Structure 1
Amino acid sequence: MDIRHLKYFLEVVRWRSFTRAADALHITQPTISKMVKSIEDELGVVLLDRKGKQVEPTDAGLAIVQQAQLIVNSFEHLSSDLADIVQLKKGTIRIGLPPMAGSRFFPKVIGEFRQAYPLIKLELIEDGAKTIERSVGSGGLDIGVVVMPTDMQAYDSFVFVRESLNLLVHPGHRLAGRDSVPLGELREERFIFFREDFALHDRIPEACIEAGFRPNVVFESSQWDFISEMVAADLGIAMLPETICRNLDFRKIAVVPLERPGIPWHLAMIWRKDGYKSYALREWIRFARERLALTP
């Protein structure tokens, strides 16, 4: 027995006639008779009382009518929901965004996507890039923004930002006003870092060690604006991406490019190579790749 059998049975009950039901379904009368008989044989009961041309449901038939209608309605609703998903009318996407990337690059993209696909729900989870990468890998997130490099064997990705970190110092600092600063010249400085679940928590010390010293970390925070305010209060130095530096108050903070070596800040969206990609997620990837490519 399948959904088609139930639909045929309900049509016979509705029309009280095999012939009229067959006409309504655009099939032959023997076909619909055979379908109903197969249901009766499978259930072991008589569902229809055949009185010549008039057909009436038996008590068992009336019981089947109620359940069959619920099943057919549920199936039709399911088909409608699946059609909506396939046509990108519905769905949920869980997106991980680091604070710096989320505030700078995504409000406009998210707004345009919601306007294009109003019934697709975007669940935004703000966290550090390292935590986001782990969550994408475990399936807790469908997609997320991380600082490159990442595990290219585990994830597909596209890079949408290629910048470097700049040095932030108090305007009265000895390095303020310089055209650039070699990383090795910062060995005696007090550093203000992002906390450990942020990618820069590891990237900056790695670069410093390559330059011949281990940084002296005096404060850690998860908020770039709080970090910049601590620099403005002359509590230490910090490093932030070029994009963020453009929004700082240059009366309170001096921004100096780093050199020999510089520290890259490359952002990418990643998703699991072996993970299921819903219709909505595939469209988000296409949409975000297209829109973010236009980001100045």
Structure 2
Amino acid sequence: MNLRELQYLVALADHRNFRRAAEACSVAQPTLSTQIRKLEDELGVALFERTRRKVMLTPAGGDAVARARRILAEMEGMKEAARRLSRPEEGLARLGVFPTLGPYLLPEVMPKVRARFPHLQLLLTEEKSDGLIARLREGKLDVAILALPVHENGLHCEELFEEPFLLAVPSSHPLAARESLRVEELTRQTLMLLEDGHCLRDQALEVCHLAGAEEGSEFRATSLETLRQMVLAGLGVTLMPALAVKGMATYSDRLHLLRFENGHPSRRIGLFWRKTSALGPLLQELAEVLRDLPPALLNPRNEAVPTT
């Protein structure tokens, strides 16, 4: 049994046709057929049920194909690791980021990343935190930007920055006349939050718990932008991460942001990768680039407030 035979096996499982599988492997059809028959003889079981019109996997064939895919994936991983070790800054890195951070952080940092690593190809994935952690664990991502804490022993973390929260209220709200408030004043507020599965929801609930505030039960948003639009429509208040505030001066007649005078509600952001990753040194440098944010982004002026 060799890798070429496993490649033929997987190709035939994918195409369910000897001719198309042979074309995909760039070999003659008799060659592929012979190698599949040789593999069946070696294993002592039929891997495919053959009819005049189609090819179907047997139960033994399904198991063999699943194992073959894992073996081939490991071999590709070995080759990729070798390429990365020799020229890590010229390869591919798969980066994950969660939805309430990616749209606001990536436009700020990607020009710096490209300048520092001009030949590095970054493949970006946006997904909720639990999905990103699972992809990291399974090797489907190389690195992910996540909110701390993350309880995974196999992951290395480089903390990047701490992002404050601000309270977003409609301009008609009684708090719109103020520049700041104390955390305990949230006890008199009912906050709109994101739906389950968003780490921002968990962070906001923690703030609510500390302040004695309540969550509005009639509405849960699917995105941070939806929350913003609901505040603009005058339907409630919410916590807004500092990076999402940029550009909100456009809404100055309808939305107001308040800083917290005490407690400083915030979330900590880190860069995570597997401790066994061959990309460790490169990702350490990437963390330095991501950490270098302009201070104004994390301490925004209340641009959404008209001057009086």
Category of TM-score, reference length = shorter chain: 0.5 to 0.7
1:270 to 269, 272, 288: 272
Contact map agreement 1:211 1:261 (CA 8 A) in 2: no
Note the C-alpha offset of 1:105.
2.7
Letter in 2 for 1:103: P
Note the C-alpha offset of 1:243.
2.1
Structure 1: tracts of 5 or more residues without a match: 1-77
- Looking at structure 1, the residues matched to 212 and 115 of structure 2 have their Cα atoms a distance apart, in angstroms, of 51
Match of 1:242 in 2: 242
Secondary structure class of the residue paired with 2:177: coil
Match of 2:37 in 1: none
Secondary structure class of the residue paired with 1:99: coil
TM-score, normalized by length of structure 2?
Answer: 0.60
- Looking at structure 1, the residues matched to 84 and 245 of structure 2 have their Cα atoms a distance apart, in angstroms, of 43
Residue 93 (1) aligns with residue 96 (2)? no
Note the C-alpha offset of 1:255.
0.2
- Looking at structure 1, the residues matched to 154 and 195 of structure 2 have their Cα atoms a distance apart, in angstroms, of 25
Contact map agreement 1:130 1:146 (CA 8 A) in 2: no
TM-score, normalized by length of structure 1?
Answer: 0.62
Match of 1:208 in 2: 208
Contact map agreement 2:100 2:200 (CA 8 A) in 1: no
Match of 1:294 in 2: 292
Match of 2:102 in 1: 102
Note the C-alpha offset of 1:90.
4.8
Which string of whole-angstrom CA distances, capped at 9 and with x for unpartnered residues, describes residues 115-168 of structure 1? Answer: 665664322111223432343234332211111222274421122221211000
Secondary structure class of the residue paired with 2:196: coil
> Which of 1 and 2 has greater Rg?
1
Aligned CA distance change for structure 1 residues 82 and 148 (closer, same or farther; 3 Å): closer
Letter in 1 for 2:265: I
Secondary structure class of the residue paired with 1:140: coil
Match of 2:260 in 1: 258
- Looking at structure 2, the residues matched to 205 and 119 of structure 1 have their Cα atoms a distance apart, in angstroms, of 41
Which string of whole-angstrom CA distances, capped at 9 and with x for unpartnered residues, describes residues 21-52 of structure 1? Answer: xxxxxxxxxxxxxxxxxxxxxxxxxxxxxxxx
Aligned CA distance change for structure 1 residues 174 and 127 (closer, same or farther; 3 Å): same
RMSD: 3.1
Secondary structure class of the residue paired with 2:178: coil
- Looking at structure 2, the residues matched to 105 and 188 of structure 1 have their Cα atoms a distance apart, in angstroms, of 32
Aligned CA distance change for structure 1 residues 129 and 83 (closer, same or farther; 3 Å): closer
Superposed counterparts of 1:63-102, under 5 Å? 82=82, 86-88=86-88, 90-102=90-102
Contact map agreement 2:190 2:213 (CA 8 A) in 1: no
Q: Mean alpha-carbon deviation: is it higher for 234-243 or for 129-138?
A: 129-138
Which string of whole-angstrom CA distances, capped at 9 and with x for unpartnered residues, describes residues 214-273 of structure 1? Answer: 422432234322211110101111111122223212222100113453321221111123
